[in-house]
């Protein structure tokens, strides 16, 4: 049973996340389908990709599949983690990817939406950065995604509180490009895609890659990277990390002790 639905309209490819039973959690299986779809759109030389949930979705995506997170002792967001692969696939897709958002966007799904080139949201959309809710040590590339999408103060507030930001505030602080009434969301997003598709695809592809390289150009010494990795290891080896995962699975509030 596929976890996504695909559609092509003119030069635009659409991937609809369609695993409502698990709130479109970014499992290995679902992510592999999204990446395969983007590869197919690339082969077909489509000029825009749209990532969306089913119309009227209350949850766009609940983020990383928590059932696939290691209980402890291993980096939960390593290079070959499905979420990391999805982010790279979105960033390296050689045409604009538009996130069309209705409903709640959580954790790694929030990073996925913010890694898209444009975000068009319905008023029902909310955006939450959740590592602190689970006790997870987010990875440095992911933190850069948040920093590039918001200013430092907004990124800190979202990361430290783990509270959802609503669409109106997301637009005010520049997290999303447009907030559009739910019944106009599709038409608006496809019109935006049409505007892009009518322009020169090679020029757009190069500008997207230039901006990806420039946005990622942050100096970090090998010592600095090793320090970050050491700090992250302390977190994913901690009791709090195990408690966060366990509490989620037990459907109860976590009790963090700072150990």
Stretch in the footprint of ligand LCV (CB under 6 A) among 84-92, 119-127, 131-139, 147-155:
131-139
How many residues are recorded in the chain?
Answer: 259
Nearer to ligand LCV, 95 or 109 (CB): 109
| From 107, 108, 135, 244, the catalytic residue | 108
Q: State which residue has the least CB distance to ligand LCV.
A: 107
Q: Please state whether beta strands 12-17 and 48-53 pair in parallel, antiparallel, or not at all (unpaired).
A: parallel
| From 13, 19, 63, 138, the catalytic residue | 138
Stretch in the footprint of ligand LCV (CB under 6 A) among 35-43, 57-65, 114-122, 199-207:
57-65
Contact status: 65 vs ligand LCV (CB under 6 A): yes
In the list 82, 96, 131, 201, the residue contacting ligand LCV (rule: CB under 6 A) is 131
> Catalytic: 138?
yes
Check if the beta carbon of residue 66 is closer than 8 Å to that of residue 242.
no
In the list 19, 47, 64, 232, the residue contacting ligand LCV (rule: CB under 6 A) is 64
| Cα gap 39→159, rounded to integer Å | 32
Q: How far is the CB of 119 from ligand LCV (least distance, A)?
A: 17
In the list 3, 31, 57, 59, the residue contacting ligand LCV (rule: CB under 6 A) is 59
Contact status: 104 vs ligand LCV (CB under 6 A): yes
Q: How far is the CB of 227 from ligand LCV (least distance, A)?
A: 20
Contact status: 155 vs ligand LCV (CB under 6 A): no
| Cα gap 29→32, rounded to integer Å | 5
> Catalytic: 108?
yes
Q: How far is the CB of 181 from ligand LCV (least distance, A)?
A: 23
Q: How far is the CB of 196 from ligand LCV (least distance, A)?
A: 29
Q: How far is the CB of 250 from ligand LCV (least distance, A)?
A: 11
Contact status: 89 vs ligand LCV (CB under 6 A): no
Sign of the CA dihedral 192, 194, 200, 201? Answer: positive
The residues that are catalytic are 64, 108, 138
List interacting residues with ligand LCV (CB under 6 A).
Answer: 22-23, 25, 59, 62-67, 69, 104, 106-108, 130-131, 133-134, 136, 138
């Amino acid at each position: 049973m596929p976890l996504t639905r695909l559609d092509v309209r003119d030069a635009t490819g659409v991937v609809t996340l369609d695993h409502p039973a698990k709130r479109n959690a970014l499992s290995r299986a679902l992510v592999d389908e999204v990446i395969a779809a983007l590869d197919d759109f690339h082969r077909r030389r489509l000029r825009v990709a749209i990532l969306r949930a089913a119309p009227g979705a209350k949850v766009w995506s609940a983020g990383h599949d928590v059932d696939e997170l290691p209980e402890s002792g291993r980096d939960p967001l390593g290079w070959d983690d499905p979420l990391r692969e999805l982010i790279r696939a979105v960033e390296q897709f050689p045409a604009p990817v538009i996130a069309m958002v209705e409903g709640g966007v959580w954790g790694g799904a929030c990073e996925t939406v913010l890694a898209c080139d444009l975000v068009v949201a319905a008023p029902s959309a909310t955006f939450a950065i959740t590592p602190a809710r689970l006790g997870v040590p987010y990875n440095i590339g992911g933190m850069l995604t948040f920093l590039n999408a918001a200013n430092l103060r907004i990124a800190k507030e979202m990361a430290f509180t783990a509270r959802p930001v609503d669409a109106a505030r997301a637009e005010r602080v520049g997290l999303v490009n447009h907030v559009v009434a739910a019944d106009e969301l599709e038409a608006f997003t496809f019109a935006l895609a049409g505007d892009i598709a009518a322009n020169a695809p090679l020029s757009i592809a190069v500008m997207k890659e230039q901006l990806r390289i420039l946005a990622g150009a942050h100096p970090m010494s090998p010592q600095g990277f090793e320090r970050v990795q050491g700090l992250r290891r302390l977190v994913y080896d901690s009791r709090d990390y195990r408690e966060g995962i366990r509490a989620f699975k037990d459907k109860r509030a976590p009790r963090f002790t700072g150990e």
